[in-house]
Amino acid sequence: MQDAASLSPRRLVLRRLIEKRMPLWVLLLAALVGSLAGAVCALFELSVNRLIEGRLGWLGEHPWWQAIFLAFLVSALLGLVGYWLTHAFAPEAGGSGIPEIEGAMEELRPVRWWRVLPVKFFGGLCTLGSGMVLGREGPSVQIGGNLGQMVADLFRLPKEHGHALLAAGAAGGLAAAFNAPLAGILFVMEEMRPQFRYSFLAIKAVGLSAIMGTLVLQAIRGQHPAITLPHYQAPQLQALWLFLCMGLAFGVLGFVFNKLVLACQDGYLALHRNRRWRFVGIGMLVAGLFGVLSLYAPPISGGGIELIPHLVRGDYAMATLFLIFVARLIATLICFCSGAPGGVFAPTLALGTLFGVTFGYLFHAAFPELGIEPGAFAIAGMGALFAATVRAPITGIVLVTEMTDNYQLILPMMITTMGATLMAQWLGGRPIYSQILERTLRLAREREAQCKTG
């Protein structure tokens, strides 16, 4: 950049005017990014739902012996498209995408938005639509972040303002995914705190993007909460220790879950060795299997958001809950660790709800005099596993509160999530997205070293 002393008076005045107006310009672009994130994420959600409904409706018209074969075939073909697009054009679009945004905010990972946006949208549409246990929330964060970088590049913003738009897009994407604007803001400031460059302008950009993303989402799909659940009364003070005990158990579960995710990712890598058709072939088998399960065992397939109301209402017996929990835990590891373009956010919330409602039934039977509904434990558990794995307790509390509209349960949720976080930390666990980013960077360095020696 030219020194101010070497500029002509006219150019100097213009430069000072631009610098003076730059904060307002950044905020206007942040509003644009949030609006784009809200529109694209709403379209992504509607497209996934329409594809799942259309696929299941069409399969339901066939006899069972035909439906099994067709369910496997259709989902395997959807998996073929999703996995091939990812491996061929944008490997960074595989998985959740949140570690990639964190790496980009640290300038450790590239943001190739011209590749990631179409691959994440259409690849994620195929893998989520196949019936796999994947969430659309992680992809929404990556889509939003890439939209922010796209706007920053198109308008040639300086690097520090481009960083603000990248973070703003991530917040807008999460807010639009869950219809939770405050959780979108807190997610960037709490979970991405090592990468987020705090400034008053950046914070305002993140907040404005989350607001606009939520407004656009609500204009498209309505103002109802992400999950419609009963409203529960605040439990009695003498019952709050039960939530702490449950939170400690969630901390152990979160620690084990993170270990299993990393081990399973390494197992997949040992199988396909990053060779395209091995990667795609394994993905097709996984997608085909969950296509059949989505037809005959719906609780074991899909992201899990649609399962949560049934769990909270008590539609399943105790033994069935345990079986669904074990099956979904295994299914989440199989699907998420395969490298498919899809997230683990929603499956984690479903697992937390399953674990929480199981505790709710046990406590309700052991302490009937306290009169606590098992559904209250389910809602508290929804955010506890998220807090233990991601290590963002405040975001987990606010996210679940906004999603379920159960503001009376804030105190027990705080106790549960804090207990889960402290236990996971005491065991030596670390945030899952940070560990995945470190693994990605390590593998990238190893591939680069192999290319140089080869």
List, for residues 417-430, the tens digit of each pLDDT value.
Answer: 999 999 999 999 89
| Predicted pLDDT of residue 6 | 56
Confidence of residue 1 (pLDDT cuts 50, 70, 90): very low
Would you give the distance in Å from CA 453 to the centre of its chain?
A: 37
380, pLDDT greater than 80: yes
Chain mean pLDDT for the chain: 90
Q: Which of 196-205, 242-251, 258-267, 271-280 has the lowest mean pLDDT?
A: 196-205
Between CA 312 and CA 84 the distance in angstroms is 38
SS3 label, residue 343: strand
Give 147 or 65, the one with higher predicted confidence: 147
Distance CA(354)–CA(131), nearest Å, equals 19
Contact 240, 411 (CB under 8 A): yes
Number of H helices, E strands in the chain: 18, 0
Distance, CA of 157 to chain centre: 28
Q: Mutual orientation of helices 9-59 and 276-296 as an angle, nearest 10°?
A: 50
CA–CA gap between residue 53 and residue 74 (Å, rounded)? 13
Kindly tell me if the per-residue pLDDT of 127 is higher than 60. Answer: yes
3 vs 366, which has greater pLDDT? 366
Structure-token pair, residue 244? 């702490």
Q: Report pLDDT for 15.
A: 53
Q: Is the pLDDT of residue 14 over 60?
A: no
Cα gap 279→172, rounded to integer Å: 32
Question: Cα torsion for 303, 304, 305, 308, to the nearest 10°?
Answer: 180
**Across 44-58, 223-237, 281-295, least confident range:** 223-237
Identify which has the larger pLDDT, 450 or 353: 353
SS3 22: helix
Residue range 118-131: average pLDDT? 96
Residue 277, pLDDT > 70, answer yes
- Nearest in space to 343 (alpha carbons), one of 415, 406, 269, 436: 436
CA–CA dist 171, 315 (Å, integer): 34
- 408 vs 235: CA distance, rounded Å: 9
pLDDT tops 60 at residue 36: yes
Q: What is the mean pLDDT of residues 73-90?
A: 96
In angstroms, the CA 50 to CA 399 distance is 25
What average pLDDT score do residues 169-190 get? 92
pLDDT of residue 193: 77
Buried-exposed string 266-300: b where 16+ CB fall within 10 A, e elsewhere: eebeeebeeeeeebbbbbbebbbbbbbbbbeeebb
CA 262-263-264 angle, 5° bins: 90
Q: How far apart are the first and last CA of the chain?
A: 40
For the chain, give the percent of residues with pLDDT over 70: 95
**Among the listed ranges 75-84, 110-119, 278-287, 361-370, which one has the minimum average pLDDT value?**
361-370
Q: What is the C-alpha separation between 103 and 100, in angstroms, rounded?
A: 5
Is the predicted pLDDT of residue 29 greater than 90, yes or no?
yes
What percent of the chain shows pLDDT beyond 90?
66
Nearest CA among 143, 120, 127 for reference residue 52: 127
Of residues 229 and 423, more confidently modeled: 423
pLDDT value at position 450? 76
Which position has the higher pLDDT, 33 or 21?
33
110-116, long-range: CB < 8 A, 24+ apart: 111/145, 111/146, 111/149, 111/166, 113/146, 113/147, 113/149, 113/150, 113/153, 114/150, 115/89, 115/90, 116/90, 116/92, 116/142, 116/143, 116/146
Do the beta carbons of residue 343 and residue 127 sit within 8 Å? no
Q: Which of 113-122, 127-136, 220-229 has the lowest mean pLDDT?
A: 220-229
| Separation of alpha carbons 47 and 40, rounded Å | 10
Q: Is the pLDDT of residue 4 over 80?
A: no
| pTM for the whole structure | 0.92
Give me the pLDDT at residue 454, please.
60
